[in-house]
Amino acid sequence: MKALTEMTKGELRAFRAEAESEYSLCKAKGLKLDMSRGKPGREQLDLTTDILSVLTSADQCQVDGVDARNYGIVDGLPMCKTYFADLLSVKSEQVFAAGNSSLNLMYDIISKAYTHGMLHSEKPWAKLDKVKFLCPSPGYDRHFAVSATFGTELITVPMTEDGPDMDIVEQLVKDKDVKGMWCVPKYSNPDGYIYSDETIKRIASLRPAAPDFTLMWDNAYCVHEFDGDFVPFINIIDECAKYGNADMVYEFASTSKISVPGAGIACFASSEANIKYQKSLISFQTIGYDKMNQLRTVLYLKNKEHTLEIMKKHAAILKPKFETVIEYLDKEIAPLGFASYHKPKGGYFISLNTLDGTAKRACALAKEAGLIMTSAGATFPYGNDPLDRNIRIAPSVPPIDELKSAAEVLCVCLKLAAAEKLLSDDNE
């Protein structure tokens, strides 16, 4: 196959005509497919049915010297803090265990920065004229949206295969209005990159002008390999402390993609000073999170070792799904030379950069043919991908046969959108 950009105008026209005819065939099928959502599929949900019967008696609720059914213990059951400490290789005193959503915790911490300030803030962020936040992109739209809903200015930082471009980050943090950075250090959303040790070291040793600069370290995929064994990660809490930045980071994790997606347990880990500070603020917000679900989840997951065994079962379901999409991309798109993508070994996404200026068009074509993709642009601040090229592919929900159809449709749309663009650039 010839690269698209090397084709003559005549070849391109023929290519477009063929793509159009393939597209018509796709449309005629009246498909209803969805590769937009980074959530577990039905098979994965069924993996964890046992969790529903792991906690059934009143006696089991007597743990850690309390009755898990009653009110209280705002930072979570000690056994739950211990579980997360094991999972993240931090100390249990550095863990605050909460409810079913790590996003909720992230939002609440940012919200408190606005209403109360962070531990080292001079004043609450709501009292400042300007607050800026660094957004390595492509990144997770819900992170960016949390900052945006509080009126924060979002600063795009390019992602590299090693993580955020640190040359740029080191410059940007000299601005005292820059209050933090969103990070997904392992299997970054959507690229699936793992931050390199060097990048993590440079992040941990940053010298930001803002005394309350905060890393929102979303370790969402900390044990979420679908291909190969568990990959250890640097303990960001210790790493920051090593450089005198002990209070600079909040790390987040949850069991949402380990146990029950909408009914898992979430936590944040940070310095003991930060835990104490947040605890003092959160004590006004709630008497305590759902300790019964903390207990249920820990009884089921037990510890990191057993959690990794469960992740192997998720991997067995996810790996063929990712392979299916990659196979189509390798066969249909790679030889044409206009798009690039990384083959991740964990996480929930494939990030594809198609021909500049064609991502929106490709997604619109897909939608018209019955395939829902994450909106093009969603992976950038304000939903605005300056090169209009990034598409996030989420292969976890559809069964393999649907996924084949979806990947086929996507490839056709990518090709058609690219051919259209190249011909229109030529002022055909």
Residues that bind its own copies (CB under 8 A): 37, 39-40, 42, 45-46, 49, 52-53, 55-58, 61, 67-72, 99-101, 103-104, 107-108, 111, 114-116, 124, 126-127, 142, 145-146, 149-150, 256, 260-263, 281, 284-293
CB-nearer residue toward its own copies: 66 or 246: 66
CB of 145 vs its own copies, minimal distance in Å: 5
CB-nearer residue toward its own copies: 77 or 366: 77
Question: Would you say 45 and 261 are in contact if contact means Cβ atoms under 8 Å apart?
Answer: yes
What's the residue count for the chain? 428
**Within the chain, how many helices (H) and strands (E) appear?**
13, 15
CB-nearer residue toward its own copies: 103 or 326: 103
Question: Would you say 77 and 84 are in contact if contact means Cβ atoms under 8 Å apart?
Answer: no
CB-nearer residue toward its own copies: 59 or 305: 59
Alpha-carbon separation of residue 299 from 51, 187, 262 (angstroms)? 8, 27, 18
In this structure, what is the dihedral angle of CA atoms 203, 84, 99, 374, given to the nearest 10 degrees?
A: 50
CB-nearer residue toward its own copies: 86 or 153: 153
Tokens (6 digits) for 255: 């069991």
CB-nearer residue toward its own copies: 2 or 42: 42
CB-nearer residue toward its own copies: 261 or 357: 261
CB-nearer residue toward its own copies: 40 or 164: 40
Q: Centre a 10 Å sphere on the Cβ of residue 139 and count the other Cβ atoms it contains.
A: 27
CB of 58 vs its own copies, minimal distance in Å: 5
CB of 45 vs its own copies, minimal distance in Å: 5
CB of 3 vs its own copies, minimal distance in Å: 39
In which residue are the tokens 């605050």 written?
96
Distance CA 209, CA 207 (A): 7
CB-nearer residue toward its own copies: 121 or 160: 121
Question: Would you say 4 and 336 are in contact if contact means Cβ atoms under 8 Å apart?
Answer: yes
Residue 186 DSSP code? S
Q: Note if the bond before 190 is cis, omega within 30 degrees.
A: yes
CB-nearer residue toward its own copies: 124 or 320: 124
Q: State which H helix or E strand residue 319 sits in.
A: helix 304-328
Question: Would you say 75 and 277 are in contact if contact means Cβ atoms under 8 Å apart?
Answer: no
CB of 189 vs its own copies, minimal distance in Å: 14
Question: Would you say 421 and 358 are in contact if contact means Cβ atoms under 8 Å apart?
Answer: yes
Per DSSP, helices labelled H in 4-41 are 9-28
Identify the CA nearest to 346 among candidates 266, 258, 270, 409: 258
CB of 301 vs its own copies, minimal distance in Å: 15
CB of 109 vs its own copies, minimal distance in Å: 11
CB of 242 vs its own copies, minimal distance in Å: 33
CB of 36 vs its own copies, minimal distance in Å: 12
CB of 356 vs its own copies, minimal distance in Å: 30
Long-range Cβ contact pairs of 244-248 (< 8 A, separation 24 or more): 245/204, 245/205, 245/206, 246/271, 246/273, 247/119, 247/120, 247/271, 247/273, 247/274, 248/204, 248/206, 248/208, 248/213, 248/214, 248/215
